[in-house]
Amino acid sequence: MRRELAGGFELDDDPGRIDVDAVHAFISRESYWGRGRPRERVERTIKGSTRVVGLYLDAEQVGFARAVSDGVTVAYLADVYVLAAYRGRGLGLELVREIVDGASDEQSADVRWLLHTADAQGLYAKLGFAEGLPTYPLMERGRGYDGRP
């Protein structure tokens, strides 16, 4: 899938086009959720994802999102970003929309999408995401989950 957006931007789900160095630079240096993440780990997350979508302006990667899913019941949206210079144009909304509503078999109406966010609830709400039910508290286990955002 390649989709042109206004202003010369383009969405593309070709994993071979992802600029791993650019994704690593943002996640490891600028994101609150992956600061310090090693490049090798970023590369492995991209390879292990069900779907990745890059946001491009000409040849430069200016945004990214990835999904991990069993293709039947659950999908997790991760590592979503748009570089600061390009925010406020609806590009993040289009990037997330492409991931969750994309024309892939693994994204069906029955898939329950999950994500963590500390600052973009409004964007995700526009696409039907809602805060989790307090009767089903989130629990996490694994490296990097120490209870802090």
pLDDT digits (tens, 9 = 90+) for 2-41: 999 999 999 999 999 999 999 999 999 999 999 999 999 9
Q: Which domain holds residue 108?
A: 2-125
Let me know if residue 142 belongs to a domain: no
The CATH number linked to 113 is 3.40.630.30
| Lowest mean pLDDT, pick from 45-49, 53-57, 69-73, 132-136 | 132-136
The predicted model gives 99-104 an average pLDDT of 77
Contact 70/107 with Cβ under 8 angstroms?
Answer: no
Q: What phi-psi label fits residue 36: left (phi over 0), alpha (psi between -120 and 50 degrees) or beta?
A: left
Residue of higher predicted confidence among 141 and 32: 32
pLDDT for 97 beyond 50: yes
Per the structure, the count of domains in the chain is: 1
- What's the pLDDT score for residue 109? 67
Give CA–CA dist 9/59, Å, rounded: 10
CA 33 to chain CA centroid, Å, is: 12
88 pairs with which residues across the strands?
Answer: none
70 located within any domain:
yes
Residue 146 included in any domain: no
The answer to whether position 130 is within a domain reads: no
Whole-number pLDDT of residue 106? 46
